[in-house]
Copies of this chain bind each other. A is one copy, B any other.
Amino acid sequence: MQNEIFKSAFSVDCVLFGFDEGELKILLIKRGQPPMKGSLALPGELVFPEEDLDDAAHRVLEQLTGLTDIYMEQVYTFGKVDRHPDGRVITIAYYALVNTKDHPVKEMPGVEEIRWAPLKDALKTKLGFDHNDILEACAEKLKRRVRTAPIGFELLPEKFTLSELQTLYELILDKELDKRNFRKKILGMGVLNVLNEKQKGVAHRPANLYSFDIERYKRLVIDGSGFEL
């Protein structure tokens, strides 16, 4: 017999994207709790009765990874009757973006193992529940969103090089971009601060560092120009 809450419950599941070692990765956990203990899955949990959905998404991510203040956005709600082995649970999927360099994930209770998996590999891995569908939907959403909103910066450290930014876009969009055209466009938008600082310790000409200027971005939105890559 199922728990009373399973008359109809809802959960949130998160696809946490990170840009690490020149690769686009997502966070998977090996579940340390039933249901589906031991299987690979996205971080997710039931929503509390007195908790807004967006709050729940942040709370769940913190509970499973220790991360706070993460950029998150709702993607889609999955509600097939049989998607959860214990009863009727619909789940609201979110994607989340984190700068892995400055925000390492922690091992948390209830999680047997936590790991960053390259997105491409994860898409081919069998995950628990309907998490493969969720992952696909989130990856698609990120692809669409990154073209028209300045969310890529959430995946980078505060100071970054243009090549890092370009590589990131290439990974997300899954296509190569022309260096000169990319720079022309992104600099032309005027949302980056040119810093008086350079890369150090690289075996080639050191790149200039840049930072995202959210105030300039806001002005750009007010003018109706917008962000479009």
Residues of chain A whose beta carbon lies under 8 Å from any beta carbon of chain B: 4-5, 7-10, 47, 49-54, 56, 74, 76-81, 88, 90, 92
Each complex incorporates copies of this chain amounting to: 2
B88 and A49 contact, CB distance less than 8 A? yes
Interface of chain A, helix or strand or loop or mixed?
mixed
A50 and B4 contact, CB distance less than 8 A? no
Instruction: From A8, A51, A78, A90, name the one whose CB has the most chain B CB atoms within 10 angstroms.
Output: A8
Known: A7-B8, A77-B77. 7 other contacts (CB 8 A): A7-B7, A8-B47, A10-B79, A49-B88, A50-B88, A52-B80, A79-B92
Given A7-B5, A8-B5, CB of A52 within 8 Å of CB of B74: no
The 5 closest A-B pairs by CB, nearest first: A53-B79, A77-B77, A77-B92, A49-B88, A52-B80
Residue among B8, B49, B53 making CB contact with A77, cutoff 8 Å: B53
Closest B residue to A4 using CB positions: B7
A76 and B79 contact, CB distance less than 8 A? no
Which residues of the other chain, B, contact A78 by a CB distance below 8 angstroms?
A: 53
Which residues of the other chain, B, contact A47 by a CB distance below 8 angstroms?
A: 8, 79
Write 19 A-B pairs (CB below 8 A) sorted by A numbering.
Answer: A5-B7, A5-B8, A7-B7, A7-B49, A8-B8, A8-B10, A8-B47, A8-B49, A10-B90, A50-B88, A52-B79, A52-B80, A53-B77, A53-B79, A53-B90, A74-B76, A74-B77, A79-B92, A90-B92
A81 and B51 contact, CB distance less than 8 A? yes
Residue among B5, B50, B79 making CB contact with A81, cutoff 8 Å: B50
A108 to chain B, nearest CB (A): 24
Query: CA of A52 to CA of B80 in the docked complex: distance in angstroms?
Result: 5
Which residues of the other chain, B, contact A79 by a CB distance below 8 angstroms?
A: 10, 47, 52-54, 56, 92
Which residues of the other chain, B, contact A74 by a CB distance below 8 angstroms?
A: 76-77
Query: CA of A72 to CA of B207 in the docked complex: distance in angstroms?
Result: 49
A76 to chain B, nearest CB (A): 7
Query: CA of A77 to CA of B90 in the docked complex: distance in angstroms?
Result: 11
A95 to chain B, nearest CB (A): 14
